[in-house]
Amino acid sequence: MAYTFDFGQVVSGEYGQWLVSGLVTTLKISSLSIVLSLGLGTLVAVLRLSKVRPLVWISAGFTEFFRNTPLLVQIFFWYFGSYSILPNFVNEWLYKQDFEFACGVIALTVYTAAFIAEEIRSGIFSIPKNQLEASRACGLSFVQAMGYVILPQAFRVIIPPLISQFLNLIKNSSLVMTIGVMDLTYMARQIEAHTFHGFEAFTVSTCMYLAISLTVSLGVNIYNRRVLHVRSR
């Protein structure tokens, strides 16, 4: 018997609400992870360029460890090992929250931050060294020189690779379904299990991921043109 496509069944009624709920969860975990990974990645990049050896070693170790281990393994690492690694007060707070969601955010944040740190470091290296030296000569500390002079210029250089990292994070967020986070992929899988219309469910979820990615890419490019270019004048 020929297969009958039925997109209406997976986008209407209760199943449509499942997709919307999964989309909201995906947007929450992605946006939170993007903000945190950008901040953490910037910190790691700056520490790696400092002259304090222990900080350089720690930041380098962080980057190499999280860049060279699979994200799925890291998700399970935080999900099953957070209680042994993190301080007790942190674990108590996590268990009071949505534990699976929190572990997903942690995994996505540290994984993406390791890549962002390298992108930022490359952007800093593209800035002439005499600008940092001139900033220090004007009385700015290393942190102030980075924050006010070097990093604003570096971010303008690395906008394209940053967009790629943000898009990768959004797509990688689908892996958190493996620890029970009810994101868009999780809901599509549930719809497939209930209706046996897997093609339709995952086609719709794929289009939703595509819409999110295109929106993020467009938004960052608009910000780059209207804000960063204005500041550079």
Reported as a single tens digit per residue, the pLDDT across 22-67 is: 999 999 999 999 999 999 999 999 899 888 899 999 999 999 999 9
**The predicted structure's pLDDT at residue 14:** 92
Single pTM value for the model: 0.87
**Per-residue pLDDT for 225 more than 80?**
no
Supply the pLDDT for residue 223.
Answer: 74
The phi and psi torsions of 97 (rounded to 5 degrees) equal -95, -165
Question: Which of 1-10, 45-54, 94-103, 186-195 holds the top average pLDDT?
Answer: 186-195
* d(C-alpha 147, C-alpha 212), whole Å: 30
Fill in the amino acid letter for 38. Answer: L
Q: Which of 194, 211, 186 is nearest to 101 (CA)?
A: 186
pLDDT recorded at residue 229 = 56
Taking residues 71-85, what's their average pLDDT?
88
Residue by residue, DSSP assigns 158-197 as THHHHHHHHHHHHHHGGGGGGGT---HHHHHHHHHHHHS-
**Closest C-alpha to 42, from 62, 72, 70, 71:** 62
Specify whether the CB–CB gap between 90 and 118 falls below 8 A: no
pLDDT value of position 70: 96
Secondary structure (3-state) at 1: coil
Ordered by where they begin, the domains of the chain are 7-232 (1.10.3720.10)
The span from the CA of 108 to the CA of 124, in Å, is: 24
Angle (CA) 74-75-77 rounded to 5° is 60
Token pair 């289009």 is found at 207
State the pLDDT at residue 51. 81
